[in-house]
Structure 1
């Protein structure tokens, strides 16, 4: 891999991580600490954005590998988070109830997949 791709991933990752932190703080401020709204939000928004980005990139092939890496691996990879999602599920199960953990798990997976499908559909309409 050339150096530009590594730099693109790093730059995208820095931006994505800052955006994720901002959404998490805003969610905590607006919705409170009783449910992992921040993680749910970034994963659904990130999945929607991934759908848009993939359609946009594929409509403009051949695309620069650095641009693709910046947007998908860097920006959206750092913005979304599976490890935090996993920790949230285990913490909800341990601290509250199986029902709340199950709702969060189901909502995260289904809404993220629906977000991706919606992003793909919107991206196709816009191109």
Structure 2
């Protein structure tokens, strides 16, 4: 039961953070590009790489802490379903180049961010 509560609390916090990032970035892009979704997905990828690598080599990161941070906070913070909808909407509006660019940025930058997160974790907590 405690694990469920940790995930719920983390999801609450992550969703709130996602909302703040999305509303904050929408002012800059005036609704023309879903930068908020891209930002939360890339930042989330960085932190999941960082947390998982850190927890593999640091006994202070308990399974409960890892669950709270990854499934909870990052699960609420990142949003694959919104990314999917926004990509399909670009395609439906015949904005194929921006749709492909957006999908490529989410996937490419996300994977790079996971690698950078893992690398940063090794710098912070060498094996």
**Does TM-score exceed 0.5, indicating one fold?**
yes
Structure 2 contact 55–62 (Cα < 8 Å) conserved = no
Q: How many residues align structurally?
A: 125
Deviations along 1:52-74, whole A, 9 cap, x unmatched? 11122112237432211101100
- What is the aligned partner in structure 2 of residue 80 from structure 1? 78
The answer for the alignment partner of 1:40 in structure 2 is 38
Q: So what's the TM-score if we normalise by structure 2? A: 0.93
Q: What is the Cα-based RMSD across aligned positions, in Å?
A: 1.2
Matched, 1:27 2:25: yes
1:30-79 superposed Cα distances (whole Å, 9 cap, x missing partner): 22210110100000010011111112211223743221110110000110
Could you tell me which runs of 5 or more consecutive residues in structure 2 were left unpaired when the two chains were aligned: none
- Runs of at least 4 residues of structure 1 off by over 3 A? none
**Structure 2 counterpart SS, 1:25:** helix
User: Contact (CA 8 Å) 1:23, 1:38: kept in 2 or not?
Assistant: yes
Q: 2:115 aligns with which of 111, 114, 117?
A: 117
Aligned mate of 1:64, from 62, 65, 81: 62
Structure 2 CA distance for aligned equivalents of residues 124 and 73 of structure 1: 22
Mapped partners of 1:44, 1:67: distance in 2: 21
Question: Structure 2: how far apart are the matches of 1:41 and 1:62?
Answer: 29
